[in-house]
Amino acid sequence: MAGRIEQMGSRRAVFRSLAGGISAAAVMCLLDGELRGEVGHGELSVVPGRPGRAIQRPTATSVIHLFMNGGPSQMDLFDPKPELTRRHGQEHFDRIAGEVEFPDAAGALLGSPFRFAQHGQSGMWVSELLPELSRHADELALLRGMYTTNLTHEPALYKYHSGSEFTGRPSLGAWITWGLGSENQNLPGYVVLEDPQGLPVNGIDNWTAGFLPASYQGTRFRATGAPVLNVSPDFQEPANVTQVERELIRRLDLRHQQQRAGQARLESRIQAWELAARMQTSATDALDLQQETAATLELYGIGREPTDSYGRRCLIARRLVERGVRFVQLFINSQIWDNHSSIGTALPAACERTDRPIAGLLTDLKQRGLLDETLVVWGGEMGRLPISQLAADRNPRSSGRDHNKNAMVAWLAGGGVRGGVVHGATDELGFAAVDGRVGVPDFHATMLHLLGLGHEDLYVERAGLKERLTGVVEPRVVSEILR
């Protein structure tokens, strides 16, 4: 049998010679005896490590990660500082040495130009810039004591997404899908909904699989047009012909892989090809918003500006987790939250783009009974300083805020999280987290815990080390925000 296959030439030559399903079926008959019974169903299972085991019954089965690139200003959104407002305009230089990216532009204390009010039964303080989200105050677990380890975007992004300040490590979504597996074999376990206006800082490194199999990296979906490029077939043919051709390709791939055992990249590439074939109808269906009612589109702000683009992605995220996708990640182009200047106009603009869509997502998930099993996470890679970064005209509203690694904010909702909870606090001016401090490893460990994964048990053995998302530190699960 092997001789007959070899006489047919290379794998690529075989495909070029096939005119359609009849030829494919004939080759399958030749292959059938050689492959029958050798590998069961042909499942490829080469994994360079040990997926995490469930340590408890998970309270969340999927994640929607709303990443706010640039570093949202915590004292203008979720962490009001009356003392900062009272001391607005005072010089304050004794605490900024080594803690600002642009020391020459550091100005006086800058009180928030925006009003705060308490919301919900919990009385959570939320800025006037988030009127829609504030209606969900009793569903949010707010982390006011978060901090990170680097005040520059690139390493801070790597830290937030992979647990390390350096490139080349698996992203949060890759770790989670590797540990949990996929619920829908016709869609990727990890989907990235990028902004049509451009990639974030660090680009595709934000959703890499690192040293995990490449099949666990994020798959980029587009919110408009073809969801995934080069997936749709070039021509239409009967469904049974397509099925025969795909089975032939699967068997040839399997034979090719058997002869090259231990090549994880080859396995990942084969898995990607097979997934792409299955996605031809599933991905298009998942992203077809015409199936939604006019009321649902309005809920997300679709069809109006400036919420249409982000609203579409939030709605697609709901449709994806509804279909069993484990991890859906939304990015904003470039750095709309990186408000070094004009915070009086730039921050409201960022909120206007995202407030209604995010509130609509929470409402929709809750109405459909999905919020209890879907963990929604909001946050950026850093926070902002309570001092001004002076504009040329020295107008306080034209000023902005520099980066702050010692204080940042995040919130979680659904998926086993206690709503209406505020955990942690910063000092009276907002320079640093001082109570209930939550580092990035703690944040990651808490997410893994909600998904039923132990941060210690989710690892890959490399060069004698157990590589983990949470690194070598001993993180703490933030039990105070769990139900």
Whole-number pLDDT of residue 320: 95
Closest CA to 71 of 372, 294, 331, 405: 405
In the chain, the amino acid numbered 168 is G
| Contact partners, residue 269, CB within 8 Å, separation at least 6 | 214
User: Radius of gyration (Cα) for the chain, nearest Å?
Assistant: 25
| Contact partners, residue 280, CB within 8 Å, separation at least 6 | 231, 232, 233
Whole-number pLDDT of residue 9: 46
Which pTM was predicted? Answer: 0.82
Q: How far apart are CA 76 and CA 450, in angstroms?
A: 29
Q: Which two tokens stand for residue 466?
A: 């157990």
Who has greater pLDDT, 89 or 165?
A: 165
Whole-number pLDDT of residue 182: 81
pLDDT per residue as tens digits for the range 327-343 = 999 998 878 999 998 99
Q: Which domains does the chain have, with CATH numbers?
A: 1-38+235-286 (no CATH), 62-227+290-481 (3.40.720.10)
| Contact partners, residue 82, CB within 8 Å, separation at least 6 | none
High-pLDDT (> 90) share of the chain, %: 60
Q: How far apart are CA 371 and CA 21, in angstroms?
A: 45
Looking at the predicted structure, is the pLDDT value of residue 266 above 50? yes
Q: Which of 55-59, 224-228, 417-421 has the highest mean pLDDT?
A: 417-421
pLDDT per residue as tens digits for the range 430-447 = 999 999 999 999 999 999
Whole-number pLDDT of residue 143: 98
Widest pairwise Cα distance in the chain: 86
High-pLDDT (> 70) share of the chain, %: 72
Which band of pLDDT confidence, cut at 50, 70 and 90, is reported for residue 30? very low
Whole-number pLDDT of residue 271: 58
pLDDT per residue as tens digits for the range 302-328 = 999 999 999 999 999 999 999 999 999
